[in-house]
Amino acid sequence: MKSRILAAAICILSLSITACGGGGFSPNDYASKPASAEPAYYGTPKPINDPLIVTASAKFLYRGLSFTPGADTTNGIGSVVSLANAVPIPFAEFHVYDSSGNRVQQGETNTSGLATFSLPKITGTYTFKVFSRAYNNYLKVSVLEDIYSNTPYSISKNFVISASDISNAAKDISNDPLIAEANESISSKIEGGAFNIMYNVLLANEYIRRNINKNGTVAGVPEADTNKWWVAEKVTIFWKAGFNPYTYFNSSTPLSFYSPGERKLYILGGVNGDVKVSDTDHFDDSVVLHEYGHFLEDVYGNSESPGGSHTGNFIIDARLAWSEGWANYLQGAILTGADAKENSASEDRIPTTKKYHYYVDTYGYRGGGCSNPCVNIAFNLAAQGTDVVPDSVSSDLPGTGTFREVSIARTLYKSTRNIASTYAPGKEGGGISFGSVWKVFAGEDTSGHNRSNPLPYSLVNTSKYPIPNAGLFNWLLDQIGVATTEWNDILAEEKQNKTTKDYAYFLTPATCAAVSFVGGAEETKMAVRDPIRRSHQQMNNDFYLYWHDGNSATTLKLDYTPTGNAPNLDLILYYGSYVYFEDDYWYSNYKSPYIAKQSRSVGTTSETISLSGLPAGFYVLNVKINAYEKTQGEMNGTSSYKIYKGASQQLCGTEQP
């Protein structure tokens, strides 16, 4: 666990698009008292005989995003929207209290943010209070202030029941809505930020429901049949205005992140009480939805990301690239869908308004003092693979897209645009539906398949496909028969393949030709602040998926033939869930708990490892160029290798049957 936390923490050493997964975090508790449990949820109305019916409403304000590519002097989060543009707060828990503080009614707002409730016919002053949480058939989320009190945000207002109201048996106060403020000078808690986060989670749920055809209702009520209605399991989100949640884990680096296994999101609210110029994410819809994408991967997909550094323009671990690419894509798909729904347009088009198909992360807000640019990160999901912001695959080898998170995000987004959409002259969308993507991602359909009973060609069929990556996803998508010519063109453009040959090729007894490394790549730092040099995940490494039957007599052998100034090869066997061990660590005498066996001989052309003592299960076999402190010229030859089980049984890579 400690190494997992360390691996996740490393991600902040370079410019992070978002936080890194790879195991649950364990917060340092600096509170003076133990954490309290989240207060009980009260969303079921109380029965009232001969009631008075009250109608109230709740809305939230937010700071809107202005974004035009290249417009650094105007881009960023701006002014608080007008009251006329306040957003209803749907499906949220509400309470009603009498003047003595007794909770006399409770319930949940409807899709329009209206609360209709019954009260006893008693005159007096009452308080209407709405909370930043929901637990119903539409939405299951709690946005809480901190990890100690676990208290949801709330907004409230008083109203009076008069004798005439009792005579009419009704009172409508919905024309004077309860408002969650977005301006810190009006409310220091910025409750609008909490409700904006909550609203983003609703947008995600609605998008998925619509696009996997699980949004059926009867008389306006969601179907009880889970094949006809979908709602995500509960997620808990911690956010506080002016607060960096990474300080819970003893780090001062500003960060939003998801903690795998715990179903908890941590959203950045600012730094040291500041929300004006510091990095904040409560109004950054891209960031909130990205982190929620990690939650969905953890709960509904197959999350094997090891965490670690990622900058968007570096070749990284294929599992990390897949996880971050998925989350980058999903936020764009959801925002595109929300914009389409509002404008009665097609959800699989490419919107004219750029911010709906970009990833945008901002600093503070304009007018608050943020200096140009007020945008931290922005990249186009509908760009060509040769786009230089933030990365280009134009000079990459085929298959390199498997190791590039932005390439994966672009591929998924462009692939799920309709064929009538063009993202560049002569380049059409792939015509793949989100429903097909979800079948492969979550193993779910409308015929009884889900994560516990997944479709055979899905990432959650972990008994066959334990390690998710882009190559595997593309292969599985191809197997379910939804490929199009346009999709194939997008894969080629983004240097992606429909195979696991580039990562986690399954080893099986067979006879095959030798595999060759034609030169190696120098180990480089991801960014100036990076403390270590990193092995090129594609050019310097071949990764194989290996099933060990538990036979303690098993040995694995690597034989290779060098030609010219050939690179030296090492053989490393990782446990199935591993963190890649860089040479800088190895040569500094650090140890890795993720390495099961290894052979790193120098001056020989054979490496052998014994699997004695290892339990049965999936492992990852890494054939690796030792590029430590070597220049390109010292590795410009060819090393051709074969892998053997025992003395003579050759093992060859193939797709899982």
- What pLDDT, on a 0 to 100 scale, did the predictor assign at position 397? 92
Confidence of residue 530 (pLDDT cuts 50, 70, 90): confident
CATH number of the CATH domain containing 612:
2.60.120.380
Closest C-alpha to 625, from 641, 643, 648, 647:
641
Share of the chain above pLDDT 70, in %: 95
Regarding whether 450 and 598 lie in a shared domain, the answer is no
Number of domains in the chain: 2
Residue 627 has pLDDT above 50, yes or no: yes
Residues in a beta bridge with 639:
517, 562
Amino acid occupying residue 87: V
How far is the C-alpha of 93 from the C-alpha of 115, rounded, in Å?
9
Query: Do 334 and 402 fall into the same domain?
Result: yes
Same domain, 513 and 491: no
Taking all residues of the chain, what is their mean pLDDT, rounded to a whole number?
94
pLDDT (mean) for 78-97:
98
Does residue 33 surpass a pLDDT of 60?
A: no
pLDDT tens profile 430-455: 999 999 999 999 999 999 999 999 99
Q: Over 70: is that where the pLDDT of 24 sits?
A: no
User: In terms of domains, do 393 and 409 share one?
Assistant: yes
Angle (CA) 244-245-251 rounded to 5° is 80
Is the Cβ–Cβ distance between 523 and 628 less than 8 Å?
yes
Q: Say what the pLDDT of residue 2 is.
A: 26
pLDDT bracket for residue 23 (50, 70, 90): very low
Mean pLDDT of 180-207: 99
- Tell me, what's the pLDDT at 353? 95
> Has residue 480 been placed in a domain?
yes
In a domain, 59, yes or no: no
Q: Which of 343, 245, 325 is nearest to 30 (CA)?
A: 245
Is 579 within 8 Å of 591 (Cβ atoms)? no
> Which residue carries 């650090």 as its tokens?
590
Distance CA 94, CA 190 (A): 19
- Which residue stretches of 301-365 are H helix? 318-342
Side chain identity, residue 265: L
Residue 377 lies in a domain: yes
Residue 26: inside a domain: no
Residues 530 and 631 in one domain: yes
SS3 content of the chain, % helix, strand, coil (to 5): 20, 25, 50
Query: What pLDDT is attached to residue 30?
Result: 46
> Can you give the pLDDT at residue 141?
99
* pLDDT, position 32: 46
Nearest to 465 by CA among 435, 501, 505: 505
The span from the CA of 76 to the CA of 85, in Å, is 19
Q: How far apart are CA 454 and CA 301, in angstroms?
A: 10
The C-alpha atoms of residue 26 and residue 298 are separated, in whole angstroms, by 17
User: Cα dist. 110→36, 190, 218, 232, 480 in Å?
Assistant: 29, 23, 16, 18, 38
Contacts (Cβ under 8 Å, ≥6 apart) of 275: 184, 190, 241, 242, 269, 364, 365, 368
**CA nearest 627: which of 515, 521, 519, 517?**
521
Question: d(Cα 142, Cα 236) in Å, to the nearest integer?
Answer: 5
pLDDT in tens, 288-316: 999 999 999 999 999 999 988 888 889 99
Q: What is residue 550's predicted lDDT score, i.e. its pLDDT?
A: 97
484 and 360 within one domain: yes
Residues 535 and 647 in one domain: yes
pLDDT at 20: 42
Q: Which of 287, 289, 317 is nearest to 305 (CA)?
A: 317
pTM of the model as a whole: 0.95
| CA–CA separation, 492 and 396 (whole Å) | 11
Q: How far apart are CA 365 and CA 185, in angstroms?
A: 14
pLDDT tens, residue by residue, 548-603 = 999 999 999 999 999 999 999 999 999 999 999 999 999 999 999 999 999 999 98
Task: Answer yes or no: are the C-beta atoms of 609 and 643 closer than 8 Å.
Answer: no
Cβ-based neighbours of 73, under 8 Å, separated by 6 or more: 372
- Structural domain for 459, as ranges: 318-499
Say whether pLDDT at 6 is over 70.
no
| Confidence category of residue 13, pLDDT binned at 50, 70, 90 | very low
Q: Which residues pair with 653 in a beta bridge?
A: 507
- For residue 98, is it within any domain? no
pLDDT at position 258 over 60 = yes
Instruction: Say yes or no: 351 and 455 in one domain.
Output: yes
Question: What DSSP letter does each residue of 420-457 carry, written as one string?
Answer: T-EEETTEE-----HHHHHHHHH---SSS-BTTB--SS
Q: Which of residues 471, 499, 527 is at a domain's end?
A: 499
- Answer for the pair 561, 542: CB distance below 8 angstroms, yes or no: no
55 occurs within a structural domain = no
Q: Are residues 527 and 481 in the same domain?
A: no
Q: Provide the pLDDT for residue 307.
A: 87
Q: Is the pLDDT reported for residue 1 higher than 70?
A: no
* Backbone torsions φ then ψ of 250, nearest 5 degrees: 65, 35
Region 384-409: mean pLDDT is 92
Task: Tell me the HSE value of 146 on the side-chain side, using a 13 A CA sphere.
Answer: 17
Instruction: Please identify, among 452, 475, 499, the residue that sits at the C-terminal boundary of a domain.
Output: 499
For the chain, state the CA radius of gyration.
27
Would you give the DSSP letter of residue 164?
H
Please indicate, yes or no, if residue 244 is contained in any of the structural domains. no
Are residue 341 and residue 450 in the same domain, yes or no? Answer: yes
The string of pLDDT tens digits covering residues 398-425 is: 999 999 999 999 999 999 999 999 999 9
Asked whether the beta carbons of 127 and 187 are under 8 A apart, the reply is no
Instruction: Compute the distance between CA of residue 403 and CA of residue 315 in angstroms, rounded to an integer.
Output: 5
Q: Please identify, among 459, 474, 499, the residue that sits at the C-terminal boundary of a domain.
A: 499
Tell whether 446 is covered by a domain.
yes
Q: Are residues 354 and 454 in the same domain?
A: yes
Task: Assess whether 443 and 332 both reside in one domain.
Answer: yes
